[in-house]
Structure 1
Amino acid sequence: MSAALDALAVDVGGLRLKHPVMGASGCVAFGRELKRLGIADDLAAIVTPSMTASTRPASRRGVLRESASGLLAPTERPSLGVDRLRPTALPWDDDAIGQVVVSIAGTTIGECAEVAQGLRRNSLMRRVAAVEMNLACPDAKNSGRPFSHDEFQATKAVARVREELPRSVPLLAKLSADVTDVADIARGCVKAGATAIVVGSPLRAIGRPFGPHQHIDVAAPSGGLSGPAILPVTLRAIWDLRAAVRSGRLAPVHLVAVGGVSSAADALAALAVGATAVQLGTALLHDPSSARSVVDGLSEHLSHNGIDSVLDLVGLAHEG
């Protein structure tokens, strides 16, 4: 590894990355499309689409709509069941893809644990560098309220999944940014065994009504807003979490920013408020080469400012 790449290397809760730029769940599939485009190596890791206990179709047709500086899309999507995985044909089993973080989800705590249990078998954990738990999913036993909006339920869900995974596998808890106090939710997740916190997820939203009957095709409760428009919300959540760590209210934990990051400047801002890594989502859908430009921009920033490591940038905004 070159000196330049050494300067970009990070550790996210036990997940070692060659640089701090990852591909977000649902935006890079299982990495094979990136390989066909010749850009699989641009990302330090990919996060797979969220997997459930059994394969699920979507209940309605998926529609994407552009919004001002953002993208409106259904958050309810078809999912591949862990029960369909075969050790000899894992969808991410390709040397060109790099680090793989498997996203898991469920509508009950028991289902989340069932997915983790299905992955636990060594033959299925091959090439799995970490697990990301999508806590933005609605909890069927809590009136459909997302796990990430309820400290008690989020804590229980993480604890159950942690029990099912090998202790050596990093567990990233993915939370929502649009809550009253994200540090409260994160504190429970860390106590339950999460090794890193990922923030956030698409903000609940609906599309603008259109046509003579004012029809909404990207509708609640399954619509979400992502893209540059939500970056300030992501930065605020990361800032709050870093501040909670500094005050002792939250145990030291690595943070990952996802939501609106689309340029090197955005990534630098996320690092400054406390993130150790970022995930690109909508940016990759808009321009698959954006990961390379973000990584190059980070490298140039270090070089031009005489900074030895990207880790020296983490939390700088709190020092002023």
Structure 2
Amino acid sequence: MSVNLRVSIGGLRLTSPVMAAAGCGGFGHELARLGVLEHLGALVTPSISASSHPTQHRVRLTEAPSSLVLPTDWPTIGTDTMQPTRVPWEGEQGVPVVASLVGSTSGEFAQAAAGLRRRTLLRGVGGVEVNLACPDAGNKGIPFSYADFAATKVIARVREELPRNVPVLAKLSADVSDVVEIARGCVKSGAEAVVVTSPLRALSMTGVRLSLPARSAGLSGPALLPVTLRAVHDLAAAIRDGRLPPVAIVAVGGISNGHDAAQAMAAGASAVQLGTALIHDPGALRTFRDELVADLQALGLHDVQQLVGLVHR
């Protein structure tokens, strides 16, 4: 039995529900050389800001039980340094690109979005993901995703700077008291999709010393899967109950294989993103699709959209 894997995320049409999480697939060139880029439905770029920023520390990854502790403030590329005639994601890959925007104020997010538009850098960009896990310089470094007003303001500012045909994806954290409330504000401000969850705030130590600054570390990897499933489930339930406007949900955090993807989609996600799994083994993309298809066939489903929200029906 053939299975249809096509999905739509806020108007962004994908041939597969599998996406590369922000920065974990680079700009796609390495994945293309490995021959696995074709297995992705979309690629989320590394962090893009209004102006380039180096990191304030040595970038390193630290292993933890079933997870990784990684820096949350990676170096960024600025729209002010990008050349319209040669954008870094341009090539012959044929995979939709989602630009990941970061900033330390709502104004910086807006400037990054405006930079993409004014410098004609939106060529080849199918959507924009707004990383609300960034620390808010105006709120003691607390991530934007932790405060309804802060997250809402960022999404509204970004939405104003982009054409209506470019969907905005709000990337939230599950490490909040009510992810539905934060998501509601983002959707009302113009987000066409919600992505959960960004890395959970964590601490990395070597012996009795910090390996990374306390404010610059996040936990990712397989250990996050139950947290991601909970967040996706709660958002999908809120949509069914009318507490959240209809919006596409993208699951990220702990998705390691096609079976994990099937669980996330049954909980309510329309697509999934691979982060740590892609860093660990890019070649896993070759089997990811087969595992997802096998689960669909075992359930007697011929369209992946029949799987979305299955646990709620």
Q: TM-score range by the shorter chain?
A: over 0.9
Instruction: State the Cα distance separating 1:291 from its structure 2 match.
Output: 2.2
Alignment of 1:194 onto 2:191:
yes
Q: 1:115 maps to what in 2?
A: 112
Instruction: State the Cα distance separating 1:306 from its structure 2 match.
Output: 2.6
Unaligned runs of 5+ in 1: none
Instruction: State the Cα distance separating 1:123 from its structure 2 match.
Output: 2.6
Given candidates 108, 120, 123, the residue that maps to 1:126 is 123
SS of equivalent residue, structure 1 residue 91: coil
Given candidates 74, 77, 80, the residue that maps to 1:80 is 77
Instruction: State the Cα distance separating 1:160 from its structure 2 match.
Output: 0.7
- State the alpha-carbon separation in 2 of the partners of residues 219 and 230 from structure 1: 22
- State the alpha-carbon separation in 2 of the partners of residues 124 and 255 from structure 1: 26
Instruction: State the Cα distance separating 1:143 from its structure 2 match.
Output: 1.4
Instruction: State the Cα distance separating 1:207 from its structure 2 match.
Output: 2.0
Alignment of 1:176 onto 2:170:
no
- Residue 53 of structure 1 aligns to which amino acid in structure 2? A
Root-mean-square deviation over aligned CA pairs: 1.3
Q: 1:151 maps to what in 2?
A: 148
- Residue 200 of structure 2 aligns to which amino acid in structure 1? L
Contact preservation (8 Å) 2:84, 2:119: no
Instruction: State the Cα distance separating 1:264 from its structure 2 match.
Output: 1.2
Alignment of 1:311 onto 2:305:
yes
Contact preservation (8 Å) 1:280, 1:291: no
> Residues 305 and 155 (structure 1 numbering): CA distance in 2 closer, same or farther, change over 3 Å?
same
- State the alpha-carbon separation in 2 of the partners of residues 179 and 43 from structure 1: 30
Query: Map of 1:1-320 to 2, 5 A cutoff?
Result: 4=2, 7-96=4-93, 98-121=95-118, 123-210=120-207, 214-319=208-313
SS of equivalent residue, structure 2 residue 120: helix
Contact preservation (8 Å) 1:31, 1:97: no
- Structure 1 residue ranges (4+ consecutive) displaced by more than 4 angstroms after TM superposition: none
Q: Compare 90-99 and 22-31 and name the one that shifted more.
A: 90-99
Instruction: State the Cα distance separating 1:122 from its structure 2 match.
Output: 6.8
Contact preservation (8 Å) 2:57, 2:212: no
Contact preservation (8 Å) 2:2, 2:302: no
TM score, norm. by length of structure 1: 0.95
SS of equivalent residue, structure 2 residue 209: coil
- State the alpha-carbon separation in 1 of the partners of residues 94 and 128 from structure 2: 16
SS of equivalent residue, structure 1 residue 51: strand
Alpha-carbon displacement from aligned partner over 1:77-125 (angstroms, at most 9, x marks no partner)? 1100011111111000012151100000110000100000011137311
Contact preservation (8 Å) 2:259, 2:295: no
- State the alpha-carbon separation in 2 of the partners of residues 152 and 261 from structure 1: 30
Contact preservation (8 Å) 1:53, 1:115: yes
SS of equivalent residue, structure 2 residue 74: coil
Unaligned runs of 5+ in 2: none
